[in-house]
């Protein structure tokens, strides 16, 4: 079950992606038609960096936590086994 913090991070990343796609699409339909201003591309870049970092940090931290849990579990079980 995801915590509230993880849910907020996930939904803010999704919201930023939707915003980025929306602002880029709007850049195509406002005058001059078919030309996207540099500032729109800059905002899209920032949105993608934010969304990627939110997703990447969540995946990385979850992976590291699983590694730590596995390490602790293995070390606890080693103490119960007879040594050869």
Q: Where are the domains of the chain?
A: 4-78
Q: Is the model's pLDDT at 71 over the cut of 80?
A: yes
Question: How many other β-carbons are positioned within 10 Å of the β-carbon of residue 70?
Answer: 10
d(C-alpha 13, C-alpha 22), whole Å: 14
Share of the chain above pLDDT 70, in %: 88
Q: Is the model's pLDDT at 84 over the cut of 60?
A: no
d(C-alpha 50, C-alpha 60), whole Å: 15
Tell me if the pTM is above 0.85. no
Q: Which residue, among 2, 43, 7, 3, has the nearest Cα to 22 in the 3D structure?
A: 43
Q: Which long-range contacts (CB under 8 A, 24 or more apart) does 62-69 make?
A: none
CB 34 within 8 A of CB 28: yes
| pLDDT band at residue 6 using 50, 70 and 90 as cut-offs | confident
């Amino acid at each position: 079950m995801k915590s509230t913090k993880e849910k907020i991070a996930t939904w803010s990343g999704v919201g930023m992606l939707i915003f980025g796609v929306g602002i880029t699409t709007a850049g195509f339909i406002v005058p001059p038609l078919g030309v996207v201003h540099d500032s729109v591309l800059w905002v899209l870049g920032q949105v993608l960096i934010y969304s990627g970092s939110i997703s990447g940090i969540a995946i990385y931290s979850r992976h590291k936590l699983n590694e730590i849990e596995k390490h602790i579990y293995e070390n606890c079980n080693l103490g119960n086994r007879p040594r050869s």
